[in-house]
Structure 1
């Protein structure tokens, strides 16, 4: 897997394009120097919520990434003091949401198989 910090993600079947704070894609996909990627390439999208992006990060992107089938969407929100991991996209919606505050963690399933401590992302 490779992480990309400068990428624009096209949501299929819409005019939407997102610029996540971090995107994780398979290494074979990352080798391409293309700046515009399909959401179907992503294994994980990460957003760090700011006051100017809160509505978009918590509403539009959840729906868009789920519709596109992005397996994992992680939202870190310092103003709420927690993180949320959305997974299992089916029927245009994430079926699972796991939340954590400092002192707790969320678990990223395959292909990552690791836990992420909330405090580490909220400092």
Structure 2
């Protein structure tokens, strides 16, 4: 919920919709299903079936690393989302030392070309199409 709340000003300003773990993402091309911890999308995001959004229509997906999801979130998900054309992938990782937030952007040929990492407590720019400075100190409550 902290992640959802962190993006509330942006949701209100742009009239984007946000989902927290309750909407599927269908990867363009393969139709491989994924359920991220947070999804930001415009209201007209294309859909596959009734409850799956097409990955290429999304603005951002985010994952919060837990002990059970660490391997997938850190290792597999960046490639999955880049392959699906998701413009920005945000990884909130309270298990690293220090706890950190990483932004992956500019997907090309199944890989994100740009990454930026900051420890909890610092601001990080979430680039286009988001264009939002995220204050990661909101996540210090979970460490």
TM-score, with length taken from structure 1 = 0.88
Q: Output aligned runs, 1:54-69, within 5 Å.
A: 54-69=70-85
1:122 to partner: Cα distance: 3.9
- Candidates 100, 118, 123, aligned match of 1:82: 100
Q: Output aligned runs, 1:38-53, within 5 Å.
A: 38-53=54-69
Q: For residues 72 and 28 of structure 2, what CA distance do their matches in structure 1 show? A: 18
Q: For residues 30 and 106 of structure 2, what CA distance do their matches in structure 1 show? A: 21
Q: For residues 140 and 50 of structure 2, what CA distance do their matches in structure 1 show? A: 31
Contact 1:66 1:94 in 2 (8 A): yes
Q: What's the secondary structure of 2:105's corresponding residue?
A: strand
Q: For residues 28 and 45 of structure 2, what CA distance do their matches in structure 1 show? A: 17
Q: Which runs of 4+ in 1 moved over 6 A?
A: none
Asked if 1:2 corresponds to 2:17, the answer is yes
1:19 to partner: Cα distance: 0.5
Q: For residues 44 and 30 of structure 2, what CA distance do their matches in structure 1 show? A: 25
Q: For residues 100 and 64 of structure 2, what CA distance do their matches in structure 1 show? A: 11
Instruction: List gaps (5 residues or longer) in structure 2.
Output: 1-15
Using the TM superposition, name which of 54-63 and 34-43 deviates more.
34-43
Identify the residue that residue 122 of structure 2 maps to in structure 1: 104
Q: For residues 61 and 16 of structure 1, what CA distance do their matches in structure 2 show? A: 12
1:15 to partner: Cα distance: 5.7
Change (3 A) 1:2 1:13: same
- Candidates 27, 32, 38, aligned match of 2:43: 27
Q: For residues 21 and 96 of structure 1, what CA distance do their matches in structure 2 show? A: 21
RMSD: 2.2
